[in-house]
Amino acid sequence: MIKGDLPHNSEVYVTVITENHAGIVRAFQATSPVIVDHTPPDVDKVTVSVEVVEVNITGFLELREDVTVTWSATDETSGINYCTCALGIQTLR
């Protein structure tokens, strides 16, 4: 996450410098810029299904809910590396 008041479509070049407890320093510099994008991605083709499943793992009949979510997402400005979904406070993968 980049914090700052940067204009939309700005190019930001990233350099990360790390140091471990032994004092060894390493640097990483991105070869291409990160594009600042203030617009949301386009999300479509969203499907959600919930299935109640009977399971008997411990010798007792239990019910489990399986939730499946699929979607398609695109972003013409900056592209998308990944997209996640959350159910309550737990991120689904």
Least confident of 6-10, 75-79, 85-89: 85-89
pLDDT digits (tens, 9 = 90+) for 43-59: 888 898 988 888 887 77
Average pLDDT of span 83-91: 72
Q: Which among 26, 30, 28, 39 is positioned nearest to 11, based on CA atoms?
A: 30
At 16 the pLDDT is 94
- Mapped to the 3 state alphabet, what secondary structure does the chain carry? CCCCCCCCCCEECCEEEEECCCCCEEEEECCCCEECCCCCCEEEEEEEEEEEEEECCCCCCEEEEEEEEEEEEECCCCCCCCCCEEECCEEEC
* pLDDT score, position 21: 95
Percent of the chain with pLDDT over 90: 22
Band (90; pLDDT cuts 50, 70, 90): low
